[in-house]
């Protein structure tokens, strides 16, 4: 039995189905990230776990006990909101203690709990201030403090970092990860930022249009996306998804790419997925991540299936740590990730190495992965 189980959850507003049957589960101490574009239903799903919104069908269980009819305050959860939702009329201490006050915890005990949390988050010097006197990062800490002090079974985070500037966001991300590691609490976390999802999660649910597209560990999601949407959404820069056809000469298969105004490129596939043979002479979507498309010297040495092809380089983007080269295949811009010091010029034709062990194929009709 998993710690948190969501079973066939549906949510309708009038005739509009916002969540279309969600099945997700999370082990105790796990970190589940719900990720997806805006409007995919991830925040609604979090709100239903919190009890802030009612569900139409299905069940939410924590430790085997259904909680979907309980009032939010009875679910033993704590929530950190996107805007932090600190009560502007109360001090930091008042904010942290409000939940305990509502539950009738005596003042002395509240003070003890406040002090403990303040120590963990290093906000002791802020306790007497009002939220308006705090910086963004400090507010974020106080919001986490308010959640921590409840010592809940389940932590819910609703895009908690999206209001911070880039640098602070990275700092707070590490902070949250550390907090998770030290306290061992179970967390459900909503974000639209796939880097946050990859770095924080033990499990990711990629959502679109009220459905979970793929549910798995970050590595599974990244390396084995089940469909074009997941492949495209996760990873930065995004996976190259190139229209291609499958060619075959006897036993071996190859993938045929059409560069603009140049001869077609045929890359032999050494270990093609079994399902691909059905697509011989048919169009597919060929997916290759930028880091699997490099200059030949930079290619992964122990990869079993590397093919090299000449590509016309249109644009070079030096990014400091890497250099990105943009070429055109099958009518789409394709990004290759090269070493920072790669000698490459825009406008030239340069050989690029395709690491085909990491390549994935999708059926253009169903958008599903070909396995």
Partner 1 sequence: MSAVSSPAPQASSGARARTINRIVIYGLLALFAIFYLMPLFVMLVTSFKTMDEIQNGNMLSLPHAPTFAPWIKAWSEVCSGLTCVGMKGYFWNSIKMVVPAVLISTLLGALNGYVLTKWRFRGHILVFAMMLFACFIPFQSVLLPMATILGSLGRFGVTLQNATGFNFGLGNSTVNLVFVHVVYGLGFTTLFFRNYYEAFPTELVKAAQVDGASFFQIFRRIMLPNSLPIIVVTVIYQFTNIWNDFLFASAYAGSGDVMPMTVALNNVVNTSTGVVEYNVNMAAAMIAALPTLIVYVVAGRYFVRGLMAGAVKG
Partner 2 sequence: MSTVAETQIKLTPEHDARPGASVRSRLQDLLPKIVLAPSFAATIIFVYGFILWTIYLSFTNSKTFPSYAITGGRAYQRLWRWTFESDPPSSWYTSITNMGIFGFLYIAICLALGLFLAILLDQKIRGEGVLRPIYLYPMALSFIVTGVAWKWFLDPGLGLEQTLHQWGWTSFHFDWIKNKDFVIYTVVIAGVWQASGFVMAMFLAGLRGIDGEIMKAAQIDGASTFQLYRRIVIPLLRPVFLSAFIVLAHLAIKSYDLVVALTSGGPGGSAWLPSNFMYEFTFKRNEMAVGSASAVIMLMTITAIIVPYLYSELREKSR
The interface partner of residue 99, options being partner 1, partner 2, none and the CB cut-off 5 to 8 Å by kind, is: partner 1
Residue 15 binds partner 1 (CB under 8 A): no
Q: How far is CA 114 from CA 125, 141, 302, in A?
A: 12, 13, 54
DSSP state of 227: B
The interface partner of residue 268, options being partner 2, partner 1, none and the CB cut-off 5 to 8 Å by kind, is: none
Residue 52 binds partner 1 (CB under 8 A): yes
Residue 66 binds partner 2 (CB under 8 A): yes
Site for partner 1 in 318-357 (CB under 8 A): none
Nearer residue to partner 2 within complex by CB, 10 or 312: 10
Nearer residue to partner 1 within complex by CB, 90 or 309: 90
Residue 98 binds partner 1 (CB under 8 A): yes
Residue 73 binds partner 1 (CB under 8 A): yes
How is residue 65 written in tokens? 């006990």
**Nearest 5°: phi and psi at 254?**
-140, 160
Q: CB-based contacts of 64: which residues, under 8 Å, 6+ apart?
A: 1, 5
Pairing of strands 211-216, 154-158: unpaired
Residue 102 binds partner 1 (CB under 8 A): yes
Q: How far is CA 150 from CA 113, 133, 178, 301, in A?
A: 9, 24, 18, 51
Residue 301 binds partner 1 (CB under 8 A): no
Residue 69 binds partner 2 (CB under 8 A): yes
**Binding map of partner 1 across residues 130-159, x = CB under 8 A, - = no contact:** ----------------x-------------
Residue 79 binds partner 1 (CB under 8 A): yes
Nearest to 2 by CA among 76, 58, 42, 61: 61
Residue 14 binds partner 2 (CB under 8 A): no
61 half-sphere exposure, CB direction, 13 A CA radius: 16
CA dihedral (131, 137, 140, 146) in degrees, to 10, reads: -60
- The span of 80-88, 167-175, 196-204, 356-364 binding partner 1 (CB under 8 A) equals 80-88
CB 260 within 8 A of CB 331: yes
Residue 319 binds partner 2 (CB under 8 A): no
């Amino acid at each position: 039995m998993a710690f948190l189980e969501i079973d066939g959850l549906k949510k309708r507003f009038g005739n509009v189905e916002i969540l279309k049957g969600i099945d997700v589960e999370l082990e105790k101490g796990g970190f589940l990230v719900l990720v997806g574009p805006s409007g995919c239903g991830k925040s609604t799903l979090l709100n239903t776990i919190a009890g802030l919104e009612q569900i139409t069908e299905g069940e939410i269980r924590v430790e085997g006990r259904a909680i979907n009819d309980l009032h939010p305050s009875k679910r033993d959860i704590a929530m950190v909101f996107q805007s932090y939702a600190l009560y502007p009329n109360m001090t930091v201490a008042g904010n942290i203690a409000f939940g305990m006050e509502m539950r009738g915890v005596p003042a002395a005990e509240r003070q003890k709990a406040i002090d403990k949390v303040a120590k963990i988050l290093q906000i002791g010097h802020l306790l007497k201030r009002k939220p308006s006197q705090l910086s963004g990062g400090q507010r974020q800490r106080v919001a986490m403090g308010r959640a921590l002090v409840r010592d809940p079974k389940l932590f819910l985070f609703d895009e908690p970092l999206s209001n911070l500037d880039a640098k602070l966001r990275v700092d707070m991300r590490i902070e949250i990860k550390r907090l998770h590691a030290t306290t061992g609490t179970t967390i459900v976390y909503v974000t639209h930022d796939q880097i946050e999802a990859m770095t924080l999660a033990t499990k990711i649910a990629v959502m679109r249009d009220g459905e979970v597209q793929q549910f798995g560990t970050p590595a599974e999601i990244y390396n084995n996306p089940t469909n074009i949407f997941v492949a495209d959404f996760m990873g930065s820069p995004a996976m190259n998804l190139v229209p291609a056809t499958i060619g075959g000469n006897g036993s071996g298969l190859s993938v045929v790419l059409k560069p603009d105004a140049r001869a077609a490129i045929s890359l032999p596939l050494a270990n093609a997925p079994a399902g691909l043979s059905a697509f011989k002479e048919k169009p597919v979507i060929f997916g290759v991540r930028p880091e699997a498309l490099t200059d030949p010297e930079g290619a992964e040495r122990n990869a079993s299936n590397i093919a090299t092809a000449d590509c016309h380089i249109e644009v070079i983007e030096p990014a400091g740590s890497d250099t990105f080269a943009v070429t055109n295949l099958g009518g789409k811009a394709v990004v290759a990730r090269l070493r920072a010091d790669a000698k490459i010029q825009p406008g030239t034709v340069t050989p690029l190495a395709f690491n085909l062990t990491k390549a994935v194929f999708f059926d253009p009709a169903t958008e599903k992965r070909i396995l």
